[in-house]
């Protein structure tokens, strides 16, 4: 028996079988014609951290900072800055740089002064205050090791440097020796 149910407007890229598609970035409840990763109200930004936090972030999302230089929320930057910050925070254990689609209507943009021991010059940073207005699209893993299984079926994992994935990996795509940007 054939279903008469209409598929959502994002049917070309949406893997779900539903009649309406909600984009969590722009809150388009009227059947969005795009996925969050393609949201026209979003831009691609990056969040860096230590490699040991990858599985927790993939399961639970990015954890907002309770306090930070310009307030509480999730901090983002360009890819190169996110890598420098994650190397600083990783303390030699390996780094993870999350590539995200972020709705900048919910961000405060600021110029961060040079960060002693981390960056040599000032850089742009974005503070996302509504921590539901982003989507993780990919993650770069540089050096270090992940012992556990990784489950990221709709995202891309970029592996470079001396990085070891010791468990099973389920991802939309896995690339080696490529960068996020």
d(CA 107, CA 130): 8
pLDDT of residue 92: 67
Domain ranges of the chain: 9-40, 42-176
Fold assignment, 42-176: Phosphoenolpyruvate Carboxykinase; domain 3 (3.90.228)
Backbone angles phi, psi at 60, to 5 degrees: -115, -5
Cα–Cα distance measured from residue 17 to residue 167, given in angstroms and rounded to the nearest whole number? 31
| Tokens, residue 111 | 């110029």
User: What is the structure's pLDDT at 9?
Assistant: 58
| Series of mean pLDDT values for 10-residue runs along the chain (181 residues) | 53 63 65 64 90 92 90 95 86 87 92 91 94 92 90 90 89 79 60
pTM (2 decimals)? Answer: 0.85
**Predicted pLDDT of residue 18:** 61
Closest CA to 128 of 142, 145, 146, 108: 108
Q: Which pLDDT value is given to residue 1?
A: 42
- What pLDDT sits at residue 93? 81
d(CA 15, CA 40): 19
Compute and round to an integer the Cα radius of gyration of the chain.
18
SS3 readout for the chain: CCCCCCCCCCCCCCCCCCCCCCECCCCECCCCCCCHHHCCCEEEEEEEEEHHHHHHHHHHCCCCECCCCCCCEEEEECHHHHHHHHHHHHCCCCEEEEEEEEEHHHEEEEEECCCCCCCCCCEEEEEECCCCCEEEEEEEEECCEECCCEEEEEEEEEEECCCEECCCEEEEEEEECCCCC
């Amino acid at each position: 028996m054939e279903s008469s149910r209409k598929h959502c407007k994002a049917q070309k890229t949406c893997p779900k079988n539903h009649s309406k598609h909600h984009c969590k970035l722009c809150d388009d409840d009227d059947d969005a014609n795009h996925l969050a990763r393609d949201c026209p109200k979003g831009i691609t930004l990056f969040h860096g951290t230590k490699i040991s936090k990858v599985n927790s972030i993939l399961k639970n999302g990015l954890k907002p900072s309770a306090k930070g230089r310009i307030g509480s929320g999730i901090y983002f930057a360009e890819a190169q800055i996110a890598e420098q910050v994650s190397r600083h925070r990783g303390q030699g254990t390996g780094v993870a740089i999350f590539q995200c689609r972020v709705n900048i209507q919910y961000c405060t943009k600021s110029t961060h002064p040079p960060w002693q021991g981390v960056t040599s010059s000032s850089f742009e940073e974005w503070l996302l205050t509504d921590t539901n207005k982003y989507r993780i699209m990919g993650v770069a893993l540089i050096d270090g090791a992940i012992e556990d299984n990784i489950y990221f079926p709709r995202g891309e994992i970029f592996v470079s440097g001396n990085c070891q994935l010791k468990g099973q990996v389920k991802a939309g795509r896995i690339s080696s020796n490529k960068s996020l940007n």
